[in-house]
Amino acid sequence: MTVIEVAEFLSKPRSWVYDNWRGEQIPFRKVGQSLRCRRSDLDRWLDAQGAK
């Protein structure tokens, strides 16, 4: 998923995703200059957020 897709999925602005992906530990990987996230990794991250 791209940053735009993740932002839409989380119902957050794209700027929030860029500003918070490291601090919130959103499971992005750098692919060249881009950030990408697997849907399965994002689902696990969301599940973990509920446990906090």
Q: Is the pTM of this model over 0.85?
A: yes
pLDDT tens digits for range 3-33: 999 999 999 999 999 999 999 999 999 999 9
pLDDT tens digits for range 35-50: 999 999 999 999 999 8
Q: Could you tell me the CA-to-CA distances from 40 to 2, 20, 26, 50 in Å, in that order?
A: 14, 19, 12, 16
Q: Could you tell me the CA-to-CA distances from 3 to 50, 51, 52 in Å, in that order?
A: 21, 24, 24
